[in-house]
Chain A
Amino acid sequence: MEVTAYKTDMEFFVDMQRCIGCKACEMACAECETNGHESMIHVNYVERAVTIQTTVQVCMHCDDPVCAKVCPADAITKDDFGVVHSANTARCIGCSNCVMACPFGVPIKEEKYDMMMKCNMCYDRTSAGKKPMCATVCPSQALFYGTREEISRMRPNSTPVREFIFGAQTVTTKVNIMMPKGSTHLKIH
């Protein structure tokens, strides 16, 4: 029987100020067999007319994932390691409820497969003790996969934040966003 080597102390950290918009993460994510060679991470310009700033959109792996909650087919599951998985192929009915419900705008209904697909934090790699492909290749380490101790030692001027406030709703996630030192949450209006 295969035993996973999932390191539960490893977390995912996203630092937008380091993003250089190179899309190495997209290229590397699409190398994964389980995604049908589609990228599950997306890099976008915020407003190219005025800035070169790019942002990374990746599944935040919510503690209480609303995408799974709203799925009428029970196709989305969260495992014991906190990974919210892509839709179960056999169950997904392509209704796009998850697409509309996700506060981070992450799941995408891939028309050619007629199902929702999203990042599963490289489960094939992370469950075998490796790092997710996007974080491994990210040349500026805007994407980092490691322990909380590592990141606090490496980046003394930033604090990981995993609490997001959308109006009256608070969402906590497995994925952290790096914010200025001392930040505790990110409030989204």
Chain B
Amino acid sequence: MAKLPAPPETIIAKFGPHLNFAPQEGYPGRDEPDAVVKTHCCFCGMQCGIQLLVKNNKVVGFEPWMEFPFNEGRLCPKGVQRYLQDNHPDRLLEPLERVEGEGFRPIAWEPALDRVTAAIRKIQASYGNDAFAVLSGVSLTNEKSYLMGKFARVAIKTANLDYNGRLCMVSAGAGNKKAFGLDRASNSYADLEHAEVILVTGANVSETFPTLTYWLWRARDNGAKLIVVDPRVIPLARTADIHLDIRPGTDSALYGAMLKYLGDHDMLDHDFIREHTTGFEDTLAAVQEYTLEWAEQVTGIDREKIRQAAELWGKAGTSFLLHARGIEHHSKGVENVLGCINLVLATGRIGRPYCGYGTITGQGNGQGGREHGHKCDQLPGNRDITNPEHRKYIAGVWGIPESELPGKGLTAWELIEAIHRGEVKGLLSICFNPLVSLPNNNYVREALEKLEFYVCIDFFLNETARHADIVLAGSLHEEEEGTVTTAEGRVVRIRRAVTPPGNARTDTSIILDLAARLGAADKFTYADSEAIFNELRVASKGGTADYYGITYKKIEDHMGIFWPCPSEDHPGTPRLWEDRKFATPDGKAHFNPVHFREPSEVTDEAYPVVLTTGRVVSQYLSGTQTRRIGKLVGINPEPLLEIHPELAAKYNIRQRETVRVTTRRGSGEFPANIVETIRKDTVFIPYHWPGKKSANQLTIGTLDPVSKIPEFKVCACRLEPLDRFTQPGEIHAFDSI
């Protein structure tokens, strides 16, 4: 059913990606905009403040927003060029329906929405409510995340709702909840400034969160020592005091060895451990075999460097630990996160100035999007969907009997497996491009082809949307009012700069229209985004992610408010746990024993090389937006295979030679970039590209048992040089099919 309706060349020729280098009408008149709108970047979790210049209902440029406290005007190349996604030639301006053999043709809104409604009803009548699933995304505002959670459960009445944060930082969320009972970075990044030691692990900060590097340098200027853990010499690692070049998949062994070293050399905060934590003895006992010698053997890091790192960490008076997908995209991502938290708790450096811990959210609303209920196991306010009291409260807010509130559904990857099994027959997705962003994407494509009906809400026809029956032309970031929550936990305002062009509609209005058609109009009556936010505030009240005291006006007045903020006279909470009362039932922080285990796939004779994946500075996630902006594509026109000269020599691979990389899931071809800045046993491919250039046709769908996040960051591959050479930028129009 959902095979491509036409050859990909036909679809791409019409819907792109095409490269936009400048506003369509050129730049004239840009000096005198109709409006200058203070909002935030649409990309990563830093959510840098930016001003958009608007002329004739189009975003025609940007001006740095110097007053916004986090970035004070600073931006990365994606932020600078983000305005070019507005008024882009590929922008969907009206709903589309698939036409077999031809591709897509416009359809009016009424019949489009009618078809979607009829398909949902038909599938649910035949196979049950849960046979229709919803996949949401965390580039959406808090308001839209909340709305999607309510829409799926109240209007569609399905349990099977999940979100693309499942590919991002759910391991961190699960670890945070286990250890602290609450899922948020403990401090604002301003607390980095006077930290004595900063440990950055599994986070290519300089390419994925470039504006955060400023805060790290502020700390270093004040004397902070920087430890970076990464299998590559990432730009941040180049000048680090210690770079631990870890073998992918062995992070918890490193943290375990460091913890043992702290214990052996009595670099522990005994008072903090005794009074404010549980589980320390078991946790320390779990790492008693993890000597520096053992850790060197497992992680591939020189034991002396591990010792130096442990000494630095152990002796510091203040410290900050930051991690991201590098340790979370694993089948033991939660264990990795807990290993990090154990180091923080053992030294008692949390909940006080210049001490902190946190994951860095990769998606724009990676933080807020994981709090308001479009996760399969969660209700707004970070409530648990299996907890009867939580269910009763939210059912009350939504005006439905608790018995009608669906239970826990399948996670994103499990949904794909359920489609394969024939249990899920229909799918609605918004702001999610699983064909590029999920692992083992040939398997994902086969799943899409098995769907009876697939409807997609998006503003560009992304690679997954090409498989849709109906595409609903939704809205860009700058076309709706709302809020997002930054990686620091700061809730900020997203302001509408323009209205959707052509016949495109706001995502919110599309969801409300569908809800009405599905018979739930009375549950979805909102005058505007602020009304949705006000309901969200009530829904989150009393939950761990309590937004009740945050109002649009307060955000405006203070350029953001940190949650939790339980009442309107509460100023918000930039630094958590200063009172040493953690959000766990016993009020204590919990150590969790971590036993090292290998990744789900290790190298062998057939697949002798470790493959890891990640990002480049000019591209964002599945590239739906950034692969359409000319100058960003110019920086990284294609994914390169980073490989060490010794490994390249072993396989007779030469610079820029095309290499076939094969795993048990598939194979792709990538030009080699031979560099000494990567481990000798590991190759790296960035994952932003689709089709033949997709890293995710190679990666593995093994899930972390707790967070259900796939193991993107490590699998085994083999390499084969193809004696074909390309020059940088020598890209052919349909290379990415």
Contact = CB atoms under 8 A, between A and B. Distances in A.
Interface string A20-34: 111110111011010
Given A24-B76, A155-B221, A157-B221, A51 B213 contact: no
A77 interface: no
Interface string B228-257: 000001111011000000000000000000
Contact of B75 (A19, A139, A154): A139
Given A27-B81, A48-B675, A50-B676, A22 B210 contact: yes
A17 B237 CA distance: 11
Interface in B673-698: 673-677
B207 A137 contact: no
Given A24-B80, A49-B675, A137-B64, A30 B73 contact: no
Q: Which of A23, A26, A27 has the most CB of B within 10 A?
A: A27
Nearest to A33: B27
Contacts of A155: 221
B169 to A, nearest CB: 21
Given A21-B617, A31-B61, A49-B675, A37 B22 contact: yes
B221 A156 contact: yes
A18 interface: yes
A136 B291 CA distance: 47
Contacts of B617: 20-23
B76 A22 contact: yes
Interface in A83-121: none
Contacts of A157: 221
B121 interface: no
Nearest to A45: B675
Q: Which of A17, A54, A140 has the most CB of B within 10 A?
A: A140
A51 B234 CA distance: 10
B213 A140 contact: yes
Given A52-B235, A52-B238, A157-B221, A137 B80 contact: yes
A27 B80 contact: yes
B73 A136 contact: yes
A49 B217 contact: no
Contacts of B618: 22-23
A35 to B, nearest CB: 11
Given A137-B74, A141-B74, A24 B238 contact: no
Interface in A39-56: 48-54
Contacts of A50: 675-677
Nearest to B209: A139
Interface string A51-75: 1111000000000000000000000
Interface string B478-522: 000000000000000000000000000000000000000000000
A42 B618 CA distance: 16
Contacts of A17: 239
Interface string B202-234: 000011001101100100010000000000011
A51 B213 CA distance: 19
Interface residues of A, number: 34
B279 interface: no
A94 to B, nearest CB: 24
A141 B74 CA distance: 8
Nearest to B636: A23
A19 B618 CA distance: 15
Contacts of A20: 206-207, 210, 213, 235-236, 617
B285 interface: no
Contact of B207 (A22, A37, A133, A154): A22
A52 B677 contact: yes
B635 interface: yes
Interface in B57-107: 61-62, 64, 66, 71, 73-77, 79-81
B31 interface: yes
Given A28-B80, A137-B80, A22 B206 contact: yes
A155 B223 CA distance: 10
Contacts of B76: 22, 24, 137, 139
A164 B27 CA distance: 39
A138 B235 contact: no
Given A22-B207, A22-B210, A37-B22, A141 B217 contact: yes
Interface bin, chain B: 35 or more
A51 B238 contact: yes
B631 interface: yes
A13 B278 CA distance: 50
B221 A154 contact: yes
Contacts of B645: 49
Nearest to B27: A33
B210 A140 contact: yes
A106 to B, nearest CB: 21
Contacts of B79: 24, 137
Interface in A125-178: 131, 133, 136-141, 154-157
A48 B673 contact: yes
Contacts of A138: 74
A37 B213 contact: no
Contact of B674 (A37, A49, A131, A154): A49
A128 to B, nearest CB: 12
B30 interface: yes
A131 B74 CA distance: 12
Given A23-B77, A52-B233, A140 B206 contact: yes
Contacts of B207: 20, 22
A170 to B, nearest CB: 29
A46 to B, nearest CB: 11
Contacts of A140: 206, 210, 213-214, 217
Contact of A139 (B62, B74, B234): B74
Contacts of A141: 74, 214, 217
A179 B75 CA distance: 25
B217 A137 contact: no
Given A52-B233, A52-B234, A136 B74 contact: yes
Nearest to B618: A23
B502 to A, nearest CB: 26
B214 A139 contact: yes
Contacts of B234: 52
A157 B225 CA distance: 13
Contacts of A27: 77, 80-81, 631-632
Contacts of B214: 139-141
Given A52-B235, A52-B677, A24 B210 contact: yes
Interface in B278-306: none
A26 B238 CA distance: 22
A31 B674 CA distance: 33
Nearest to A54: B235
18 contacts: A19-B235, A22-B77, A22-B617, A24-B75, A24-B76, A27-B77, A27-B80, A27-B81, A33-B27, A37-B27, A49-B645, A136-B64, A137-B64, A139-B74, A139-B75, A139-B211, A140-B210, A140-B217
Given A24-B79, A141-B74, 5 more contacts: A18-B213, A18-B217, A24-B210, A49-B675, A140-B213
Nearest 3 CB-CB pairs, A to B?
A139-B210, A20-B206, A20-B235
